Amino acid sequence: MKATREYTLEEMRAGAEAAVRVCMGLQPGERALILGDEGSSLISQALADAAGPIAAAVETYTLETFGTRPITAMPAALQAALERFQPHVSFYTASSRPGELKFRMAYMPAVMQANPDGARHGHMINITPPLMMQGMRVDYQRIYEVTMRVHGIVRNAAEIRVTNPKGTDLTASFDPAFNWIPCHGLYHEAGEWGNLPEGETFTSPRDVNGVLVADELGDYFSERYGILDTPVTFAVEKGRVVEIRCEDEILAEDVRSYIFGAENADRVGEFAIGTNIALTGLVGNLLQDEKFPGVHVAFGDPYGTQTGADWKSDHHVDVIPTQCTIYVDGERIMDKGVFAPEIVREGERDGD
């Protein structure tokens, strides 16, 4: 049996400092709250240590103290803790469990609204020590620049087509009334949040048609399967999944149960482009891998409060193809996973 790597608190410090000081911009006198689980205690401690010298107060909790997992609804004791502490900055470091998405969707607005002046949130679901040592230790000013350039290109797009060597050929059209959200990793204003490690821009598409061949899946599939040994193929018509194929029939049935297991879980809710050019490959953890340069699509909830979509779902699962070629209104911005030179140029601070 392969020995499990033991990580140290010291190895987590640089990533935690980046999360606290750079990404969330914690200021002197602000309060920081960390909600994790027993498995993420080392990372939660590193975040608390990074916040301690700056914050007026830091509180750390584990999900297991609020009940037996999976936790599917907002615990009253946790709600009371939020209302009492009123954090300015919060982090979520727990792993995912089947059935907990509904809780997380309730927790997010609760923690961000607990402070009357508004809060900032770093969502780090399924964060692991390797991610703290990789994706959290990149140059987030650089990621900001690339993300904002891509956002500037796609925010008014009518159509985006993505292909890859494994058979992906997917075309999405977009509603100009919906928002493209730039997730650049620098969240310093009340009401802002992001999934750390960061680097993407996303929206909810108007329509999607074609085939998507995925090498990784989100929600609890990421922790359960990592990078897939056998890709999963989704056939999409008029924005909904009509067929799921995979050589691993057990995996295929697991995915079908999820996709067809809740209202609108078969509907394309998110279309995103990863912009973290510091990443060199997939690692088997969706939190970081969805930021890898390329496209990912999510079936289920469209994050309507951000995108403007007017429908909901209790499910949300991201799917990642690799080696993407991307055409935005006919113009190629990525070729087999490599952005066009004008997107990754250095030395300018592009924005909105």
* Every domain of the chain and the residues it spans: 9-133, 139-344
Amino acid present at 284:
G
Say what the pLDDT of residue 342 is: 95
Say what the pLDDT of residue 227 is: 96
Give the DSSP per-residue string, 123-134.
Answer: E-TT--HHHHHT
Check if the beta carbon of residue 268 is closer than 8 Å to that of residue 208: yes
Question: What residues form DSSP beta bridges with 268?
Answer: 299
**Which residue stretches of the chain have pLDDT < 70?**
1-3, 347-352
Task: Give the pLDDT confidence of 200-218 residue by residue, as tens digits.
Answer: 999 999 999 999 999 999 9
Task: Give the pLDDT confidence of 285-298 residue by residue, as tens digits.
Answer: 998 999 999 999 99
Q: How large is the angle between the packed helices 41-51 and 9-17, nearest 10 degrees?
A: 50
Question: What residues form DSSP beta bridges with 195?
Answer: 123
Residue appearing with tokens 């329509």: 207
Q: How large is the angle between the packed helices 76-85 and 101-113, nearest 10 degrees?
A: 20
Instruction: Please tell me the number of Cα atoms within 13 Å of 147 on its side-chain side.
Output: 25
Tokens representing residue 260 in the block? 């067809």
Tokens representing residue 120 in the block? 């900032």
The hierarchical CATH code for the domain 9-133 is 3.40.1830.10
Strand 193-195, strand 120-123: pairing: parallel
Give the number of other Cβ atoms within 10 Å of residue 117's Cβ.
8
Tokens representing residue 66 in the block? 């609020």
